[in-house]
Amino acid sequence: MSAHCADTVCLGRLSDNGSVWSTSGTPLREGFPHGKMAADPADQWYYVLSVRLSQRHFGYIVELSNYEITLTLGVLLVLALLAGEMAGKIRLPRVTAYLLVGLLFSPFSWQALPESFWGRFIGPVAYQRAVEAMQHHLHSMHPIADLAMALVLFNMGCRFTLKHFRRLFRRVIPIACGELGLTFLLVSAGLVVFLGQPWQMSILFGVLALATAPATTILVLKEAESEGPVTEYAQLLLALNNLAAIVCFEVALVCVADGTSAQRFADIAWVLLTLGGSVTLGLLAGLLTSYICNLLEKEAWLIIMLAISTLVLGLSSLFGFPYLLVFLAMGTTVANTSDRAEDIVGELNQITSILCVLFFAIHGAALDLHALWSAGALGVGYIVLRLIGKYFGIFLMASDHSDGAGVKKWLGAAMLSQAGAAIALSGMAAHRDPVAFAPLQQIILGTVVFFELIGPILVRQAVYNAGEIPLDNVIRHSTTTPWEEAGSLWRRILTAIGIDPIGKRSVAELTIGELMKSNLLGVNSTASLEEIAHYLEQSHLSTVMVVTHKGELAGIIRYSDVRDIVFDPEVGGLVCATDLAISSPSVAYADQPVSDAFDFFRIGHLDALPVVSRETPERLIGVVRRKDVLRLYRRATSGEPKPKRGGH
């Protein structure tokens, strides 16, 4: 096919007279034998297919700018799910995985590679169309991302009851003042002194450094199910940080901008009006939400909440109100005016989770790695000064005695994420004065990449090291493996078509020894909590056998008994398996029939039964798993044809 055809054609069509036409209506004859189509319609389709399959590049076949946005959405969700599962296995926050998936889809990432690279695989035209399509699709999904952010902020506001706020206020305010004050001073003064930046620009950088990404931090804390002082302080500091950043940036922008006194007075009045309007809109929306949810049945709450949230989001955009403040005020109002606030949040969580996956994938696609590289010394200086200010501002003001060592050492690390608020504020400055403040926006866009990639990891490490994550979230516990599930699926397929997938012996002939797993011999009685957690993660069992150094059964540990234990790495070594073990309610012998194990599992709640030696009853020789026994009995009672008796 000629270059012209490559530029204009993707999915061709047959005209009435047998010619091949491009989607734009251009007749195509190149690439066909002898320059014309065959007379037979069947041969015509053969020639069309031959030409399409003979193209060197896939990009010439598919018109990427026209493919459905649902394809982008589906691919994003599938890759985000897979990346989230992989992140869980290596103990990274899922948020980081979602951001990396978005970064993979980012047009900036595609453009970072030389055009010759893409031209070799899909062609330069298809590459350009792919980038344009991706930009269009990601832009079209921004309302979904805004709604996800709004619901996260509402969820955050619902935690701030007046009773809760009064309890923390006296302790958090000094810490907030230290963090905000030191961060602002270090960034603004440091950029002037060390990098020679104008004081006007440095002040704006100092104010932007105050903002902390609420969605990133809240979602990591929620995923970890953390509870404790660091978690409580972090949630309140998030609100105070972003409130201070929005208010101070508006005021600072008025002060550093050129204009008459009258213009500055009008700008300040507009700032106050905007803040007052945001709080008022959030208050009214919160009252409406509380009233309607108390009036209607729970089944209608999700629709009502989505309707109110989208309406409020639209009104915020219409009036130019920062929806961060609007939804914080809305959530706080619901928390203090409804006795069913937790139930309302629970209903919203049904949709918030999936929206947040899209939010972080879309947000990751907006990250520009090139902007990070081009930030230069100014970007590095901003990153370093903000890191120092955030961490040591909290470290210096927190008290070991009243706040706890965890708050003093780890709260600062949980406050380092930065994203939406800083980007929006820097964009507002660039819009008002593109010449003076465009560099400000470019530096923030670059440094946000760094803070968003390390921020979620530091948040999780902060609450982990502070001992605020339950064991259930420290380990990756499941009762099956991908291979076992694949085997189960295959057996169900065989059963559905009438083939016995297990064997030709009846269940009554099998013994526990034939079903026993001899490689799951538990942990030593001196094993630490971390070793127990590792075994639970690797064995895919919820029952841990505890054995002595001689291999004798000392007891069992049930996952349900330890899953809610708060895992503190500093004291985890003081707890051993013997401290957590209980006596096994029963044991089995290898020569017993499988029916005995079935009777035990039918009335018991364990997922594994220890198998001991009949000659030495204390010695553990293996375990028989509940799912293996029940799978046999499901086959026996499913109405399938009885297998013939005999050997394997």
> 642 lies in a domain?
no
Predicted local confidence at residue 638, as pLDDT: 56
End-to-end CA distance of the chain: 61
Sign of CA dihedral 190, 191, 195, 198: negative
Residues 253 and 307 reside in one and the same domain: yes
> 482 lies in a domain?
no
How confident is the model over 388-403, as a mean pLDDT? 89
Task: Check pLDDT > 70 for residue 504.
Answer: no
**C-alpha distances out from residue 611 to 84, 540, 584, 590, Å:** 37, 18, 11, 6
Predicted local confidence at residue 458, as pLDDT: 94
How confident is the model over 370-382, as a mean pLDDT? 87
Q: Whole-angstrom Cα distance, residue 249 to residue 255?
A: 10
Q: Whole-angstrom Cα distance, residue 416 to residue 394?
A: 12
Residues 160 and 118 reside in one and the same domain: no
Residues 234 and 363 reside in one and the same domain: yes
Residues 69 and 30 reside in one and the same domain: no
**Is 123 in a helix, a strand, or coil?**
coil
Task: Check pLDDT > 90 for residue 550.
Answer: no
> 487 lies in a domain?
no
Question: How confident is residue 394, by pLDDT bands cut at 50, 70 and 90?
Answer: very high
Q: Whole-angstrom Cα distance, residue 134 to residue 191?
A: 37
Residues 431 and 544 reside in one and the same domain: no
> 458 lies in a domain?
yes
Q: Whole-angstrom Cα distance, residue 597 to residue 626?
A: 8
How confident is the model over 569-579, as a mean pLDDT? 72
Residues 413 and 525 reside in one and the same domain: no
Can you list the alpha helix ranges (DSSP code H) found in 196-297?
199-208, 214-224, 229-256, 261-295
Task: Check pLDDT > 60 for residue 50.
Answer: no
Q: What percent of the chain has pLDDT over 70?
A: 79
Select the highest-mean-pLDDT range: 43-52, 281-290, 561-570. Answer: 281-290
Residues 282 and 347 reside in one and the same domain: yes
> 624 lies in a domain?
yes
Sign of CA dihedral 315, 317, 322, 323: positive
Residues 42 and 184 reside in one and the same domain: no
What is the span of the domain harbouring residue 447?
A: 144-466
Residues 71 and 43 reside in one and the same domain: no
**Is 385 in a helix, a strand, or coil?**
helix
Q: What percent of the chain has pLDDT over 90?
A: 20
How confident is the model over 621-646, as a mean pLDDT? 67
Task: Check pLDDT > 70 for residue 343.
Answer: yes
Q: Which of 149, 154, 56 is nearest to 419 (CA)?
A: 149
Q: Whole-angstrom Cα distance, residue 638 to residue 496?
A: 11
Tally of domains within the chain: 4
Residues 200-252: tens digit of each pLDDT: 899 999 999 999 988 889 989 988 888 889 999 998 999 899 889 988 988 88
Q: Whole-angstrom Cα distance, residue 201 to residue 443?
A: 11
Predicted local confidence at residue 54, as pLDDT: 45
Residues 181 and 116 reside in one and the same domain: no
Q: Whole-angstrom Cα distance, residue 383 to residue 389?
A: 10
**Could you tell me which residues come within 8 angstroms of residue 203 by beta carbon, excluding any fewer than 6 positions away?**
188, 252, 255, 256
Residues 268-311: tens digit of each pLDDT: 888 888 889 999 999 999 999 999 988 888 888 889 999 999 99
Q: Domain boundary at 12, 37, 55, which? A: 55
Select the highest-mean-pLDDT range: 382-386, 525-529, 611-615. Answer: 382-386
**Is 51 in a helix, a strand, or coil?**
helix
Task: Check pLDDT > 60 for residue 10.
Answer: no
Task: Check pLDDT > 50 for residue 478.
Answer: yes
Task: Check pLDDT > 90 for residue 471.
Answer: no
Residues 193 and 121 reside in one and the same domain: no
Question: How confident is residue 468, by pLDDT bands cut at 50, 70 and 90?
Answer: confident
Predicted local confidence at residue 635, as pLDDT: 66
CATH number at residue 336: 1.20.1530.20
> 488 lies in a domain?
no
Question: How confident is residue 387, by pLDDT bands cut at 50, 70 and 90?
Answer: very high
Task: Check pLDDT > 50 for residue 1.
Answer: no
**Could you tell me which residues come within 8 angstroms of residue 467 by beta carbon, excluding any fewer than 6 positions away?**
228, 406, 566, 567, 568, 569, 570, 571
Sole residue written with tokens 């670059």: 446
Question: How confident is residue 259, by pLDDT bands cut at 50, 70 and 90?
Answer: low
Task: Check pLDDT > 90 for residue 326.
Answer: yes
pTM of the model: 0.72
How confident is the model over 559-579, as a mean pLDDT? 72
> 44 lies in a domain?
yes
Q: Domain boundary at 114, 139, 164, which? A: 139
**Beta-strand (E) ranges in 443-537?**
469-470, 523-524
Residues 345-364: tens digit of each pLDDT: 888 888 888 888 888 888 88
CA 550 and chain centroid, separation: 45
Q: Domain boundary at 92, 117, 139, which? A: 139
Question: How confident is residue 569, by pLDDT bands cut at 50, 70 and 90?
Answer: low
How confident is the model over 583-609, as a mean pLDDT? 85
Predicted local confidence at residue 19, as pLDDT: 41
How confident is the model over 79-106, as a mean pLDDT? 86
- What mean pLDDT value characterizes the chain? 79
Question: How confident is residue 127, by pLDDT bands cut at 50, 70 and 90?
Answer: low
> 279 lies in a domain?
yes
Task: Check pLDDT > 80 for residue 52.
Answer: no
Q: Is the Cβ–Cβ distance between 519 and 545 less than 8 Å? A: no
Task: Check pLDDT > 70 for residue 16.
Answer: no
**C-alpha distances out from residue 356 to 144, 261, 277, 350, Å:** 9, 44, 27, 11
Residues 540 and 583 reside in one and the same domain: yes
The tokens for 159 are 């935690």
Predicted local confidence at residue 472, as pLDDT: 66
Residues 185-213: tens digit of each pLDDT: 999 999 999 988 888 899 999 999 999 98
